[in-house]
Chains A and B, each alone.
Chain A
Amino acid sequence: MTLHTRSLAALAAGLAAREFSSVELTEHFLARISAANGALNAFLTVTPERALADAQRADGVLAQGQGGALTGIPIAHKDIFCTDGIQTTCASKMLKGFVAPYDATVVERLTQAGTVLLGKTNMDEFAMGSSNETSHFGPVKNPWDLSKVPGGSSGGSAAAVAARLAPAATGTDTGGSIRQPAALTGISGIKPTYGRVSRYGMIAFASSLDQAGIMAASAEDCALLLAPMAGFDTRDSTSVDRAVPDYVAGLERSLKGVKIGILKEFFAQGLESQTGARVQAAIDEYRRLGAEIIEVSCPNLPLSVPTYYVVAPAEASSNLSRFDGVRFGHRCENPRDLLDLYKRSRGEGFGSEVKRRIMTGTYVLSAGYYDAYYIKAQKVRSLIAQDFKRAFTQVDVLLGPTAPGPAFAIGDKVDDPVTMYLNDIYTIGANLAGLPAMSIPCGFVNDLPVGLQLIGPHFSEAQLLAVAHGYQRVTDFHSRVPVAYT
């Protein structure tokens, strides 16, 4: 049975026609997780009982001829989303054993849409990392080559989808954490516009950049899942009250005359030549599809990494101050006094990359440095946003690589944080400007997938998905599965 290689639409059709039940589908994926997770470490928690209960409920709905496009479809959630009654760790020792007392809005909405919860996926600790190596529970392996990283921070979700252990999984993206792992594992992933999807119940890293999204094999699958996730939520003060378009209905629009901007800065120093060649081939494909290719420039974009490494740590140091060893999370043994309780609980509970970012953030916000670092970075952030705005007066969508190269070896970049940070050089700009962006597979280098990035103006998710889908109609990179997981 090859249920795991079918699209979501095909799975939904099979469920509706009673070709197979949601329980059978769920058992199929649970069996795949049991077989593969030991090697991949993609899931931190598997929830078979919950999954089968969800599936039985879905089968009841389907038996009455009811249900929607997602009724009975199994999915996984990144372990950054709170799940009522289920351990939610953010891959940190700090939250080991933490059982969330409520569901994140994303979880709640996808449950209401009829999805089945398979489990919670591994990630970089508190979403801080680009390789999944900062997880307290061990690195995730890339299904295309177990010696390589899957990218991060949503590396568990990416590996789970790439190995077809789940048809789709949620992710979050603060500086590229959906797109870069999607690229490195050969799947599709979308980071929506800031404010499009509720952040309620999503453990905060950098609140002006964090955005929830979805990872699946294809843009079409992403469109199906993004629909119920998106939309206004009173419980997130930055959620935007704006109608959600029909992402699926818009997929088939023609690419004729669509203006695609090639960002000059994305093809400069740092891009590996073979990766660049795959992206160039995709540009040629778009030209054949009738798109107009225009070169554009965002001159301040090369400053996005230094800008991010002021803004994100600053917000993180503030957000993570809630982990104080008092109300939840790790507490040290026998604290002498309150200061000792704070310091040792935090020192023991956080891993080294998280501590590094808290320290960076504390420093750039401290008296005497705030203007030089934080205000300066927020000004450059304005410049970067203006660059994008100007580019979108010329083109409908921007195109470039997602990452400078394919997946790198586990252990390769852990000793130098700055080298690791530079892997997000092409993805961070969209977060700084709050723009929607996605990554889709566009080929292979040495049998490792390469990702193509598309960035659109605010709230242009429907167009991004259509531009991605147009490419996937004439290519098959998105349907390739690593040999060991076919």
Chain B
Amino acid sequence: MSLTRKDVEGIAHLARLQMTEAELAAYPESLSKILTLVDQLNAAPTGAIEPMAHPLEGEIQRLRPDGVTETDAHLKYQANAPQVASGLYVVPRVIE
């Protein structure tokens, strides 16, 4: 499997990653190498095999009641935010 620079640009857009020129030059080769490694999987006979859903057999994802368990600590959390105003996270204008 071989990826082109254009493929990499497309994936980077999906992943919301701005790439530098140097990265766009380097990633097609290294990602292609990884996909070549991954191509080894094609040799495995997986016909009737179920894809693994959980590392522990028989374990299922536990659910909890949808109740309030935490107290408001937005000031503490927002201390890490790049930009806040009036208790709200600020982003560039989305709706004109």
Interface residues of B (CB under 8 A from A): 3, 8, 11-20, 23, 26-27, 30-31, 33-35, 37-44, 46, 49-57, 59, 61-64, 73, 76-77, 79-83, 89, 91-94
Contacts and interface: CB of A to CB of B under 8 A. Distances in A.
A9 B83 CA distance: 49
Contact of A208 (B14, B37, B55, B63): B55
B46 A376 contact: yes
21 contacts: A195-B56, A303-B40, A303-B44, A306-B41, A309-B34, A327-B89, A328-B77, A329-B80, A331-B82, A343-B13, A343-B16, A346-B18, A347-B18, A356-B30, A359-B11, A359-B15, A359-B17, A362-B14, A378-B53, A379-B52, A380-B46
Contact of B20 (A303, A337, A347): A347
B50 A379 contact: yes
Contacts of B26: 352
A362 B11 contact: yes
A194 B55 contact: yes
A373 to B, nearest CB: 7
Across the A-B interface, give the 8 residue pairs with the lowest CB-CB distance, nearest first.
Answer: A434-B55, A347-B18, A378-B51, A331-B82, A379-B46, A328-B80, A343-B18, A362-B15
B55 A310 contact: no
A240 interface: yes
Given A343-B17, A380-B44, 7 more contacts: A99-B79, A101-B76, A343-B18, A359-B27, A375-B51, A379-B52, A421-B37
B30 to A, nearest CB: 5
> Which of A234, A306, A352, A355 has the most C-beta atoms of chain B within 10 angstroms of its own C-beta?
A306
A362 B16 CA distance: 10
B17 A338 contact: no
A134 B63 CA distance: 36
Contacts of A375: 51
A277 B52 CA distance: 36
> Which of B31, B33, B51 has the most C-beta atoms of chain A within 10 angstroms of its own C-beta?
B51
B14 A366 contact: yes
A209 B56 CA distance: 11
A305 B30 contact: no
B81 A309 contact: no
A309 B37 contact: yes
A309 B16 contact: no
B89 A306 contact: no
Nearest to B62: A237
A237 B91 contact: no
Interface residues on A, range: 35 or more
Nearest to A433: B55
Contact of A338 (B11, B14, B83, B92): B92
Classify the interface of chain B: helix, strand, loop or mixed.
loop
B38 A101 contact: no
A197 B31 CA distance: 33
Interface in A374-419: 375-383, 385, 416-418
B54 A307 contact: no
A346 B17 contact: yes
Nearest to B55: A434
> Which of B14, B38, B42, B49 has the most C-beta atoms of chain A within 10 angstroms of its own C-beta?
B38
B37 A306 contact: yes
B56 to A, nearest CB: 5
B11 A378 contact: no
Nearest to B77: A101
Nearest to A336: B92
A208 B52 CA distance: 10
Contacts of B49: 379, 382-383
A209 B63 CA distance: 20
B79 A359 contact: no
Given A310-B41, A347-B20, A417-B30, A326 B52 contact: no
A338 B94 contact: yes
Contacts of B23: 352, 355
A341 interface: yes
Contacts of B54: 208, 238
Contacts of B17: 343, 346-347, 350, 355, 358-359
A417 B34 contact: yes
A101 B92 contact: no
Contact of A458 (B8, B56, B92): B56
A382 B14 contact: no
A245 interface: no
Contacts of B19: 347, 355
B50 to A, nearest CB: 6
A363 B34 CA distance: 11
Contacts of A209: 55
A330 B23 CA distance: 20
Contact of B40 (A208, A306, A331, A383): A306
B92 A335 contact: yes
A78 B3 CA distance: 36
A200 to B, nearest CB: 13
Contact of B83 (A305, A321, A331, A376): A331
